[in-house]
Amino acid sequence: MTRDSIELVEVGPRDGLQNEPDIVATPAKLKLIERMIDYGARRIEVASFVHPARVPQMADAEDVIAGLPDRSDTTYIGLTLNKRGVMRAIATREAGRRGIDQIGCVIVASDTFGQKNQGQTIAEGIAETRAMIRFARSEGLSAQVTISAAFGCPFEGEVKHDTVIAIAEAIAEEGPVEIALADTIGVGTPHEVETLFTRLSQTLGGAMPMRCHFHDTRGTGIANAWAAYRAGVRIFDASLGGLGGCPFAPNATGNIATEDLVYMMDRSGIDSHVDLEKAIAANREFAEVIGRELPSRVTRAA
């Protein structure tokens, strides 16, 4: 019998680092990415194209991208919040350089949070994202979309499932490679995750894959990942060591840890395509760079 499998999107270099108070040097970021490739990550969110005054950790985005290993088996993702970001992503591919392969777009499922995060209401975010997908495609870049704060907003509280599904329906019309739901502030529970992803699956009707992105603020992140798997999700964002957090979401903590996700899936008979021992070694190596132990429970137990 063929084992079921998942796909990891390693978000450590972007989402994992963006909230770090001390700037991580460009060579250290590149070494981290090389370690991620070594342990099996083949889709990596390497940077975001945002104003350095808002997210100083990403000020070297173009320098990081210029130094990426030129590998045909690896997809490099750059987060873009508007058309200007897409233009910066396109520019990384000029003069024969490898550059970014795929842009990541974000729509926040809350007007208040969306305005704080990227200056857009939901309606404005939908319109901007649809235009970004078309623009990226015309320039040879693929695009994926994340619906952020899909399980709750730090300012408005509960987010209605109808709101999330309506956003997904509008975005699906543009044909992104996948649509993700993100629990940006870590309020989701397994029951809600399975319910909402099941509904999203029915809405998409198999037209495109679903992806999930969980934060572990309340300790439910890895359980939520399992609930998403049960609902048909096979693409999972995770961050080495459980690093992460959104600068614009008060008290939000890190992503689910790559090692924890891999351990759970591998022990459940599901192939993650990641070498757990190498991921643990990468965790410990990077912990020395930032001067503290990383949150991953599996690495602490190893």
- pLDDT tens digits, 227-243: 999 999 999 999 999 99
% of the chain surpassing 70 pLDDT = 97
Instruction: Tell which phi-psi region holds residue 274, choosing left (phi > 0), alpha (psi between -120 and 50) or beta.
Output: beta
Residue 250, pLDDT above cutoff 70: no
207 CB contacts (<8 Å, ≥6 apart)? Answer: 172
* Cα angle value 167/170/174 (rounded, 5°): 130
Q: Taking residues 247-268, what's their average pLDDT?
A: 85
pLDDT in tens, 43-78: 999 999 999 998 999 999 999 999 999 999 999 999
Residue 80, pLDDT above cutoff 60: yes
The pLDDT assigned to 1 comes to: 44
The pLDDT assigned to 246 comes to: 63
CATH T-level topology, domain 7-301: TIM Barrel (3.20.20)
Instruction: Tell which phi-psi region holds residue 209, choosing left (phi > 0), alpha (psi between -120 and 50) or beta.
Output: beta
* Cα angle value 254/51/237 (rounded, 5°): 30
The span from the CA of 144 to the CA of 177, in Å, is 5
The span from the CA of 35 to the CA of 39, in Å, is 6
pLDDT in tens, 195-231: 999 999 999 999 999 999 999 999 999 999 999 999 9
Q: Side chain identity at 258, as an amino acid letter?
A: T
Q: Where along the chain do its domains lie?
A: 7-301
pLDDT in tens, 120-166: 999 999 999 999 999 999 999 999 999 999 999 988 999 999 999 99
pLDDT-derived band at 119, boundaries 50, 70, 90: confident
Q: Closest Cα to residue 150, out of 188, 202, 118?
A: 188
Name the active-site residue from 105, 153, 212, 246: 246
Q: Taking residues 81-100, what's their average pLDDT?
A: 92
Residue 300 burial by Cβ neighbours in a 10 Å radius (0-12, 13-18, 19+): middle
Distances (CA, A) of 228 to 149, 233, 234: 16, 5, 8
105 assigned to active site: no
The pLDDT assigned to 116 comes to: 84
- The first and second tokens of residue 49, run together, are 């194209």
Residue 169 and residue 202 in contact, taking contact as beta carbons nearer than 8 Å? no
The span from the CA of 51 to the CA of 67, in Å, is 20
Work out the mean pLDDT of the chain and round it to a whole number: 94
Residue 200 and residue 212 in contact, taking contact as beta carbons nearer than 8 Å? no
pLDDT-derived band at 275, boundaries 50, 70, 90: very high
